[in-house]
Structure 1
Amino acid sequence: MNSLQKLGGIAALLEGAIYISAFVFFGAFWSYPADADSIQQFLFLAENQIILSVVYFTMYVLFGMLLAILILALHERLKVNSPILSQLASIFGVIWVGMVIASGMISNIGLAASIELSVKEPEQAMTIWRTINYVVEGIGGGNEIVGGLWVLLLSVAALKGKQFSTALIYLGMFVGIVGVLTIYPAEVLTEIFGVSQIVWFVWLGVFMLNNGKIKSNKSPIVVSGRE
């Protein structure tokens, strides 16, 4: 059990690192020519296809794989004292895994197909590429409702079972509520969710690595009798 908790802790730290890497890449290194015409934009995408494909794989597919490990570890930890809430949280967590991994596969397949079509039909290819981006944003980036519900529910389960520190639990609740609020299309909410979840992932990872033993709040059953 301790091994799974430590594995989950490592997965959580890596999730935070992936978030940070994505922010740094798109904030400091990615210079997409948004004001250029379709031909120039696809020339840029073609020149950077490999690095962008790697980034999409890391941001979505690898993130989803690590998330699956973390979900399993947290379920094992929380089910001892909060079995129903833990199961409910895990359902939303597994759905989030599927959505995130699907986003990465759609992004990479769509990127390659759009670049190939752009040689003959750049305008049509741009329409397809924008549509793909809308789909990816819809299921894996533009709103964080499912991920927010996962964090919120497991934080409530952790509060009930006293499995995390109080501060970590309330941070998780904040992250979860902000994630649910991203149903409203405001970019600032998505940014707050992303930044606060980085802190939550890192804090959670450190906590799990340092607290591998699962506590049970259930009182032992005492059987008494006469001889």
Structure 2
Amino acid sequence: MSAPALAPPPVGAVLTDIEGTTSSIAFVKEVLFPFAERALDGFLDAHAADPEVAACLTAVRRAAPGEEPRAVLRRWMAEDSKAAPLKTLQGLIWASGYTGGEVTGHLWPDVAPCLRAWHRAGIRLNVYSSGSVAAQKLLFGHSSAGDLTGLFGDFFDTAMGGKREAASYAAIAEKLARPPGDILFLSDVAEELDAAARAGYAVCQLVRAEDGTQPSGRHPVAADFPAVAATFGLPVPRLSQGEAA
């Protein structure tokens, strides 16, 4: 007879991805990006003289001499360019939308109850996303479950390095002053989990049916955050009727 599988060890910290993990993949592509495109002209009309916006427009002119900046920005949007002035402007437009109540950060209904339960249990919560730290805080600060930013200790973006590089996770563990094995990384992307596992993290792939994620076969999988909790010995909250809606 084979030996029974050992239960995964408890963890003291959780590092979570956003898109495809806490939030729908469609939210960014079908809500945030279209909102920024629709709001671009009005935002620039109202804020072109603001120092941060003016600096972005100057950077656009330098990147595309002789072209009208708004046309360049729209082209970059269509190309899903990572150009810094576009990313900065999108962030500013999203901030305006969030604070004005035009945009609400999407979270799967199971996420906030688990985050609150884990926080109460003393598990340190952190975020690592390819979106900027500012964008992360906007999403969690204006989420469908309210302002959750107070639950998190740290927010990390790709200033720490690429999400498919083991060195990025080693650097985050150092920032958190924790051994990598004490940290559980949650993501829907197998290659990100590969990198975190190489750095010594515990990992789990979120395979949400709504997003069409496919299990990699290389890592533990969970359909939602309560399943993560059950697998890794974390508190499993009871979802109230309102939270499960």
Instruction: Answer 1 or 2: higher relative contact order, Cα 8 Å, separation at least 6.
Output: 1
**Which structure features the higher share of strand residues?**
2
Task: Tell me whether the two structures share a fold, i.e. TM-score over 0.5.
Answer: no
TM-score by length of 1: 0.27
**Would you tell me which structure has more helix in proportion to its own residues?**
1
